[in-house]
Amino acid sequence: MAERRRRAGEPRQPPDASQALDIAAHFLGTRPRTEWELMRRLRRAGATDEVIEGTLARLRELGLADDLAFARWWAEQRDRHAPRGRRLLETELRQRGVPRDVLEELRTEEIAEPVLDTGGLPATELERARIALDRHLRGRSLPADRAALQRIGMFLVRRGFDPQTARDAIRQLGAEEDDPEDG
């Protein structure tokens, strides 16, 4: 029937393979996760290393634990909702446990064929910077004074864009504002 509820102070039993799979499935219910995030969650639940490895192997078989797919999904979500430069995007992915080789593979995919150019999403770093700049300005025009332009450039740099891309995005927007027929 129903499991007996654990009383306060009573030691928790480590989850078996079936329970660990349930914990991982519940954790994956909100969004995709990296293997590192899944491993941390199972460790927090008290699972043994053998149970964790078996659970991760089963999730890989089911296609639910795939760091490259997670990295693609994360990059797409960033482009859709809060565009970031490649450097900051990679930092966010590293913080979520995406291995370096997966980041290298994602980078080569972007160079060979823009992964993020699906469904009208931006493909280039300059396009991402322009979207971030447009959202930041919210319809306002670029300020004329140099200090304000530098602050806007630093805003883009803090978002992970390299300084040259930030300058190019600002120049491009400035050129469009000067010649409204082309923009």
pLDDT tens for 42-93 read 999 999 999 999 999 999 999 999 999 999 999 889 888 888 888 899 999 9
Model pLDDT, residue 117? 45
Instruction: Give the max Cα distance, the chain.
Output: 74
* CA 130 – CA 16 distance, rounded (Å): 50
Does the global pTM surpass 0.85? no
DSSP state, residue 50: H
pLDDT tens digits, 94-153: 999 999 999 999 888 765 544 444 345 456 888 889 999 999 998 888 888 999 999 999
* CA 101 – CA 171 distance, rounded (Å): 35
Nearest Cα residue to 130 out of 179, 154, 93, 165:
165
Q: Name 119's Cβ contacts closer than 8 Å, sequence gap at least 6.
A: none
Cα Rg, the chain, nearest whole Å: 22
